[in-house]
Structure 1
């Protein structure tokens, strides 16, 4: 049996950040993780380049049953604080659109920074350790039993992640620990995830795989994102679709404006007056992918006519089709390809300052296991750094 001050369950972004911070305060910290290597989700993020934060991160970029919960940690450890950290380690990175920051080389660079911080802070990391039980000790503190370790500690930090990407070893262990100690866990679902389509829509768009369109996508609740959508073999993906998936509920439509920068009715009238002999298909193919236009003509969403054959009513209808193209997804690709888990440990059960369970002294929950879900684009990593830092100051 080993005696330590803090056991962190999960060697991901939030867990490693918290462990290093606690270690720097002189706490004896042990991190346990069932994987073969730390930071597995970091390594595959951002196409292997890790979109490690977003310059625009603010509480407005997060979904949580308590929208105020993230304010404290995000204000106390900001995106600039994390940028300062990676700058100190000499990380080479670049800016992309919408405030996203990516590693120049590899996501491994971020993992290496976290591991270096943990090493400097005296943290011990134990891999291939599946937690089999956790129990509160009569005299205070906890005993954590893993495959080969028995650890006794004052505090336990659950940073075990959500249910996304089960091939990386995702398990519901964090939710089970919360329930064991009487904490409420909100229903979970896959988020930042591609849509699948009903068979009739899949047949309509068969052959469009790889086609990308810059769109404005709107959920039934009125949330909007302006980025690309991407047709896949099974349905729709791309940044705008991943974003809207967090706000979509089964049975709902999404509305897609295929030409958000254009007054479409005005353009159609101009074509009718100035290029009337040209086919609508050829004219529309100058502003949208030809294969996509052909598919819409084939299913009669767009008339197969020359521009000068369009009536005023047809122009209005076509403008509506192109700016309010409605599609009802069949579902999502699920946890297999989702980037994050929506839902989780109810934040009303936790202190927003320390992340300690209000009804269980010495038990903390941070990162994806909590009911906090960021937008696509580095926001979830920033929450991991912020809550890991905040918890690490007190644990």
Structure 2
């Protein structure tokens, strides 16, 4: 039976990072993944350019039963540390919006860098290799794999969540946690488009393809980013963000003209040019297709001069305080991440080691730490993987 110091389950961002760091300490490391290629989520992220981190890393941008749990790892391996890693490798990057950093070239460069670092440190990578049972054996573990059993002093679980199952996502990491007695926080799709019942969908679907800047809110949380109308409901960055906070049976709010006193704007437009149609003025603020849709829906296809100020206020209210009741989301099929996971109460925040199970570590998305859209989840992967790699 092959004997190593550390076996890492999962060859994604967190797993590769943990393996590299452990191998650089002279540990004998093997990374095992049932997928045929390593780092596939890295490769497809950011439209193929990898939104690898964010300049605005802070505790309030992560969702967890204990949001402060992530701070230890995030402060010890920061966004600047990963940026320095890319700079040293000559990988160009740029800031897009809201602190989001992307590669100038292909996300494949990040995958290639991680694989090169793993090989240089002496780590092994076993792809297309399914993992079966993981059990205690003395002070260490025995891991059953498609290539036969392997013994290890430490196991780092970096198997990710349930999001995007077509790329091989499974709930294996959660099952493994439960097998060792670790509690879980309920999992659900996050950073995912929202769907609606026929009543709302009949209004939304004709606008499929229309996108505009908006403010989307739920409870005390709101996001000012783009909203995209689709045949199934609503998507776009603002919707993906609020999906992590939204819960079934409750409404979200949409402001399609944030920061604009729309009632005053329309009254002034009526005064300036009463012969113009409502859609002509609305189209200066929102896409023309949406302007026409609003005009027809409210039955205001008439010159502005014939519309009362009360009617114009109805238009403003419709665009600025639109309450919508989602019936669900598109689920794990399109969710970028999984909310919930291994309860942080069961883990050491500094090392990511399971309390009461020496040598067992959980990193990345499998843990109950979920970041906002925009590079936060990758930074959690780098930081948590790094933390475990220092001690495993």
Please state which band the TM-score falls in when normalised by the shorter chain.
Answer: over 0.9
Aligned position for 1:211: 210
Aligned position for 1:371: 368
Which sections of structure 1, spanning at least 5 residues, go unmatched? none
Aligned position for 1:46: 46
CA distance in 2, matches of 1:222, 1:306: 39
Q: Does 1:222 align with 2:226?
A: no
Q: Does 1:18 align with 2:18?
A: yes
SS at match of 2:383: helix
Aligned position for 1:125: 125
CA distance in 2, matches of 1:297, 1:264: 14
1:388 counterpart (363, 385, 388):
385
Aligned position for 1:305: 302
2:354 counterpart (353, 357, 373):
357
- 2:193–2:329 Cα contact (<8 Å) kept: yes
Report 1:1-395 matches (<5 A). 1-137=1-137, 139-219=138-218, 221-300=219-298, 303-395=300-392
CA distance in 1, matches of 2:61, 2:87: 24
CA distance in 1, matches of 2:45, 2:283: 34
- 2:212–2:256 Cα contact (<8 Å) kept: yes
CA distance in 1, matches of 2:96, 2:131: 39
CA distance in 1, matches of 2:246, 2:23: 41
- 1:205–1:295 Cα contact (<8 Å) kept: no
- 2:266–2:281 Cα contact (<8 Å) kept: no
SS at match of 2:52: strand
SS at match of 1:157: strand
- 1:51–1:378 Cα contact (<8 Å) kept: yes
Which sections of structure 2, spanning at least 5 residues, go unmatched? none
Using the size of structure 1 for normalisation, the TM-score is: 0.97
CA distance in 1, matches of 2:17, 2:379: 11
Give CA deviations for 1:213-269 in whole Å, capped at 9, x if unaligned. Answer: 1101111x1201001101112111111111111011112211111111311121012
Paired residues, what number? Answer: 392
SS at match of 2:351: coil
Kindly state the Cα deviation for residue 202 of structure 1 after the two structures are TM-superposed. 2.1
